[in-house]
């Protein structure tokens, strides 16, 4: 296995492991539990779920894999803090979005060849990428994997 292929496999394995860990935690919580705050005056579980869906959904655009599936989640879960939007999707709706988002990302990730992960993502210009080749698609996966790990650590505090 060549180096690029090994690096991509390592990162995809990390991503998939964290997705499974988040799934396990999510499946263990009732919809009522998701309404609880992680800690006093902090985000609720439902907000973290919506936030992760919105962030992961944006990966489609950043990795040039298509359009967002759930653009309506940007306003309540990226642009706005928790509890500032009167109506957000239900836990049931967000659970379905989470599942769909992960299915689509998995399918798209599986189609990418190792060398494609080292191409520029859509938020960097060709000129900047020539100076900073680390600003590639794999870097997006790395940063989003770290982001997921951070929020998984918060999410499990709902127990």
Do residues 53 and 47 make contact, with C-beta atoms less than 8 angstroms apart? no
pLDDT in tens, 30-74: 999 999 999 999 999 999 999 999 999 999 999 999 999 999 999
- Quote the tokens at residue 99: 């599942």
pTM of the model: 0.96
pLDDT in tens, 93-131: 999 999 999 999 999 999 999 999 999 999 999 999 999
Comparing CA positions, the residue from 67, 86, 68 lying closest to residue 76 is 86
Domain range enclosing 89: 3-158
| Number of structural domains found in the chain | 1
pLDDT band at 159 (very low <50, low <70, confident <90, very high): confident
Which residue reads 């390592």 in tokens?
10
Torsion of CA 141, 143, 148, 153, to 10 degrees: 150
Q: Distance between CA atoms of 155 and 138, rounded to whole angstroms?
A: 25
Report the alpha-carbon angle 37-42-46, nearest 5.
45
| Residue 83: CATH number of its domain | 1.20.120.450
């Amino acid at each position: 296995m060549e180096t690029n292929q090994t690096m991509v496999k390592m990162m995809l394995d990390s991503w998939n492991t964290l997705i499974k860990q988040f799934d396990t935690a999510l499946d263990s919580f009732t919809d009522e539990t998701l309404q609880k705050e992680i800690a006093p005056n902090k985000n609720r579980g439902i907000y973290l779920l919506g936030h992760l869906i919105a962030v992961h959904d944006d990966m489609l655009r950043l990795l040039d894999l298509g359009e967002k599936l759930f653009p309506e989640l940007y306003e309540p879960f990226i642009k706005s803090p928790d509890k500032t939007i009167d109506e957000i999707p239900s836990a049931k709706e967000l659970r379905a979005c989470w599942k769909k988002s992960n299915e689509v990302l998995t399918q798209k990730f599986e189609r990418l060849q190792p060398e494609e992960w080292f191409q520029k993502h859509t938020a960097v210009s060709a000129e900047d990428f020539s100076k900073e080749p680390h600003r590639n698609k794999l870097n997006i996966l790395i940063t989003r994997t770290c982001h997921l790990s951070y929020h998984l650590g918060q999410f499990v505090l709902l127990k």
